[in-house]
Amino acid sequence: AGSCHGNSVERKIYIPLNKTAPCVRLLNATHQIGCQSSISGDTGVIHVVEKEEDLRWVLADGPNPPYMILLDGSLFNRKVLLQLKGTSRVSGLAVAIAKPNPPQGFSPGLKCPNDGFGVYSKDYGPEFAHCNTTVWNPLGSGISYEDFDFPIFLLEDANETQVIKQCYLDHNVPRDGATPEYPLCAMQLFSHMHAVTSTVTCMRRSSLQSTFSINPEIVCDPLLDYNVWSTLQPINASGKVDPEKEVVMVATRIDSHSFFWNIAPGAESAVSSFVTHLAAAEALHKAPDVHLLPRNVMFTFFQGETFDYIGSSRMVYDMEQDKFPLRLDNIHSFVELNQVALRNGSVLWMHTDPVSRMNESVNTQVKILLDILKQSSVGSAVTLQEAGFSQPLPPSSFQRFLRARHIPGVVLTDHRTAFQNRYYQSMYDTPENIGMQYPEGLSPEEALEYVTDTAKALAEVATVVARALYGLAGGASSISAIQADPKTVTRMLYGFLIKMNNSWFQSIIKPDLKGILGDVPQHYVAVSSPVNTTYLVQYVLANLTGTVVNLTKEECQNPEKTPHTETELYEYSWIQGSPGANSTARVPFCVRSGVRLSKALSPAFELRHWGSTEYSTWTESRWKDIRARIFLVASRELEIITLVLGIAILLISLLATYFINAKADVLFSIPRDPGAVAY
């Protein structure tokens, strides 16, 4: 049978840009931030801006506004954006990624991240509130938290950027000082957002729609996902831990953010810490006597921490409401891994809360905690130092627990004061930012197994943390055998930062989840859950800390129907496994672990307190269409002439039709037969 291929007119007119990432609208209790286009998209003549002087054409001299700017990544900063925000001559912005990363640093986040939602306030350590003592992110420009009334897109593909530049050079560059002639190269960006004003407004509208409409049109969704947690000794996830049982809690965040939607590599801000955490969990589980330790250890991975501590505030709320197996009273001490990959020499800084340490009993317990950490680093390549009493805690999940109860705790970072990370919450917080380097010519499989210097350094940190946790849990044996594996660390760094779809990740997930393994990993919390990062942290943790059990597929997938499975203590997963030695067919198996998920949705949405100042209120606007394209546009005069001619032809055709219709009996009468005789 033959096939018919339509030759679309649209494809002849437009060149679609397929590798782009938009800036979208987010909302909280009081503000809207981000970007949007008009409902039919915004169009403008392209102008390439590679140095600040090029802006003059756009802002003043150019005769064909509005302009759609192709901006070099090195100029994507607060000063330039605020200039463009204040003019009607700009209809949108396409940003090319700077190569190499901007040497001066680039952070679109706030100078004081999560300000107002940590522990410090006018009632608790007012001298530390609002980063009065330490500005943690001095490079933070805050542009991620501005509201722009025009679309801004990131161009991820250098080839598409080159196509746009070539179109500009061919059609839009002034020749010999003369104004460029039509047709001109133009760009159209679509990113219209449905939600406006604030979370209070958009949630109220969505709620009314859900109540009174058969087909409700929801305009925004809360940012939400799941926290991942596990314990060293199994606990009943549906019951309650004995009030006398003490638990050492170790925590880290697993999400990041940048100016553009779902572009959140987070190498230093998130991945370095949660990979170290996972490696420490594996090392501790391998210790021979962990089931005899007097205290349990809980490994916790929080989602949504970038947006005012969504995950940690929810876990604290659940503990307070008796909706979690543990209560706050069960927590003996708290260890948090923050940014740890950019150590200056061998130093890792230990931050504690100076306010709670004014209480003598808390101070005594914190000193014991710090001593155990220091002892654990003896003989290692990591030097632990105290940040000092004059220093508050950096932005950390631990702050949400301190708001509820004075828990002895420490936050480990690679910085004493301001972040070492010059690309915090940006698209440049990539593997290169934490020094990950591979030799030339490695295959993906070789790169997965190649142990980088970064992996070795993080494995050393994981070893110290695992040994400290062993001591905090009451372990008395030699700690020299507790050792994190650099090979595991390098695999995780490769998988979470470079290529998710690798042979190791493929071998440790369920067969029905293989679709989550995209190419380039991103760690944005999003609104549909669980996101890829959450799933992968869950299955990596299960792989590193669980055990393979001899169950069939049916028994593994229905453990409640199988005797001796202890489903209240363990989760069972049927994993697709690696290909056999002489075969391409995978050899699946069953893994038993204590890894669980708990909801990471801000309590503000459970309580319907959309204007809350206690809990995160971040929502993401919905949209219908996000796309970008370029095309040649005719002059306004030619468009008007074409329109007038079209109208004239229409009127003439209408008149012609009218007269033809009126004289139809004359024009179309049947002639008489000449031979006919008339009487």
- Which of the residue ranges 19-28, 57-66, 561-570, 593-602 would you say has the lowest mean pLDDT? 561-570
Query: Reading across the β-sheet that carries 596-601, which strands appear in turn?
Result: 383-386, 347-351, 409-413, 331-337, 247-253, 296-302, 224-231, 596-601
Look at residue 551 and give its three-state secondary structure.
coil
The helix/strand/coil state of 619 is: strand
* Neighbour-count burial of 310, counting CB atoms closer than 10 A to its CB (0-12 exposed, 13-18 middle, 19+ buried): buried
What sections of 389-485 are H helices per DSSP?
398-404, 444-449, 453-472
Percent of the chain with pLDDT over 70: 98
Instruction: Report the C-alpha gap between 333 and 392 in whole angstroms.
Output: 18
Would you list the domain boundaries of the chain?
Answer: 16-106+141-193+626-637, 224-497+510-525+595-601
- Judge whether residue 39 has pLDDT over 50: yes
pLDDT of the residue at 673? 64
Secondary structure in 3-state letters for 23-60: CCCEECCCCEEEECCCCCCEEEEEEEECCHHHHHHHHH
| Ordered DSSP codes for 308-356 | TSHHHHHHHHHHHTT-SSS-GGGEEEEEEE-S-SS-STTEEEEE--TTG
**Can you read off the two tokens belonging to residue 594?**
């204590």
**546-558, pLDDT tens digit by residue?**
999 999 999 999 9
CA dihedral 48, 54, 55, 57 (to 10 degrees): -90
- Alpha helices (runs of H) in 172-271, residue ranges in sequence order: 199-212
Closest CA to 199 of 178, 180, 168, 224: 224
644-653: burial string, b at 16+ Cβ within 10 Å, e else: eeeeeeeeee
Element (H, E) at 250: strand 247-253
Residue 601 pLDDT > 70:
yes
Q: How far apart are CA 335 and CA 408, in angstroms?
A: 9
Cβ-based burial of 605 (10 A; exposed 0-12, middle 13-18, buried ≥19): buried
Handedness of CA 656, 658, 659, 665 (dihedral sign): positive
Of the pLDDT bands very low, low, confident and very high (cuts 50, 70, 90), residue 671 is low
Q: What is the pLDDT of residue 351?
A: 97
d(CA 233, CA 236): 10
- pLDDT for residue 676 is more than 60: no
**pLDDT at 514 (0 to 100):** 86
Residue 662, pLDDT > 70, answer yes
d(CA 302, CA 606): 18
pLDDT score of 179: 83
- Beta-strand pair 32-35/26-27: antiparallel
Structure confidence by residue, pLDDT tens digits, 556-566: 999 998 888 88
Phi-psi region of 674 (alpha: psi -120 to 50; beta: other; left: phi over 0): alpha
pLDDT at 389: 84
How much is the pLDDT for 34? 97
pLDDT, tens only, 68-93: 999 999 999 999 999 999 899 999 99
Identity of the residue numbered 180 = P
pLDDT of 3 reads 47
pLDDT, tens only, 402-460? 999 999 999 999 999 999 999 999 999 999 999 999 999 999 999 999 999 999 999 99
Options 1.20.120, 3.30.70, 3.30.1330, 3.50.30; CATH for 16-106+141-193+626-637 is 3.50.30
pLDDT bin (cut points 50, 70, 90) of residue 9 is confident
Tokens of 191: 């990113």
**What predicted TM-score, i.e. pTM, was given to this entire model?**
0.92
Report the distance separating Cα 34 and Cα 23, nearest Å: 6
Rounded to whole angstroms, the Cα distance separating 433 from 429 reads: 6
- For the chain, count helices (H), then strands (E): 18, 24
Mean pLDDT of the chain, nearest integer: 93
Ramachandran class of 56: left when φ > 0, alpha when ψ lies in -120 to 50, beta otherwise = alpha
Among the listed ranges 159-173, 206-220, 453-467, which one has the minimum average pLDDT value?
206-220
Looking at the domain covering 224-497+510-525+595-601, what would its CATH class be? alpha beta
Confidence label for 677 from pLDDT (cuts 50, 70 and 90): low
Q: How far apart are CA 308 and CA 28, in angstroms?
A: 10
Angle between helix 532-545 and 272-285 (nearest 10): 20
Lowest-confidence range among 15-29, 91-105, 579-593, 615-629?
579-593
In whole angstroms, give the CA distance from residue 640 to residue 560.
Answer: 73
pLDDT of residue 7: 57
How much is the average pLDDT of 494-522? 92
Q: Determine contact, residues 260/189, Cβ cutoff 8 Å.
A: no
Eight-state DSSP code of residue 143: G
Residues 510 and 197: beta-carbon distance below 8 Å? no
- At 243-283, the pLDDT tens digits run 999 999 999 999 999 999 999 999 999 999 999 999 999 99
Tell me: pLDDT of 568 over 50. yes
